[in-house]
Amino acid sequence: MKTKIIVIVGPTAVGKTALSLDLAERFSGEIISGDSQQVYRNLDIGTAKATKEEQARAPHHLLDVRDVTEGYSAYDFVAEARRAIKEIVGRGKLPIIAGGTGLYLQSLLEGYHLGGKVSHEAILAYRKELECLSDEVLFEKIAELGVEIPQINRRRAMRQLEIAHFGQELKNQEPAYEVLLIGLNDERARLYERINQRVDDMMEQGLLEEAKWLYDTYPDVQAVKGIGYKEFFPYFKGEITLEESIECLKQNTRRFAKRQLTWFRNRMQIPFYQISEPDYKDRIHHQVERFLKEKGLEHLD
């Protein structure tokens, strides 16, 4: 019998952390971060990492597991998330993954194991090339490979082409989990308001000091590439004003949220709940209860 896990996805600032804590407390769960930036120590504010108070409410995993000088890939995430899931289940708890890094989550859930030599950037670059192709061209490329794909669609075709392109660095494995996917979203205007407010709150919490530390000590590490820090580097260089940096961060974060939603909608079949609807949490609770009661997990509710 496959291990049951819950996965919460959605754009940044939509409330994934809050829901994960709610479900962990209600259904005896432990939380695994599905965010590529929250793995880094000392990068707390800009990555919207769960606070110490929030982490005290439920055990958290894959937070603060790398120094900022170290790299981190989808391969690392899959290996470490699998290990965390096994440990959580061994304690009789429910694994709850919450995050917005689509490539990492898809890799874990679909048994899509990325070889350590293939970078996140390489995968994304090739996928962008494939996304520009029509269905007809994609399917022609599959035919040229001599591969038969039952009920072929764009997602399956692109996945097979990626495997062929990267050779043995990509290995398809049978998914090991029975997954309940929960997507959170909101009306665009309200989501953008939440993003703007989050940036303002981060500034009050000390984001500028965190970014300055990164700029002064490790300006060229992988962690800098993430949204939340690089937007302040031109300000530190005297090229733009602080207000311009803050507005740039808000704009980049809004664009990032849009890309996240596009990824999840196109690549992962996810039911989305609108957080502006007053009963969305009740409906999620009922769905989780039904999911856990199947095949003998009633003890978790």
Q: Enumerate the known binding-site residues.
A: 10-17
**How many residues does this entry show for the chain?**
301
Which residue ranges make up the annotated binding site for ATP? Answer: 10-17
3-class SS string, 277-289: CCCHHHHHHHHHH
What do you get for the CA distance between the two ends of the chain, in Å? Answer: 19
Contact 41, 66 (CB under 8 A): yes
Handedness of CA 125, 131, 134, 137 (dihedral sign): positive
Angstrom distance (rounded) from CA 98 to CA 76: 17
Angstrom distance (rounded) from CA 143 to CA 203: 53
Angstrom distance (rounded) from CA 183 to CA 264: 9
Which residue ranges make up the annotated binding site for substrate? Answer: 12-17
Angstrom distance (rounded) from CA 84 to CA 74: 15
The closest of 95, 106, 104 to 4, measured between CA atoms, is 95
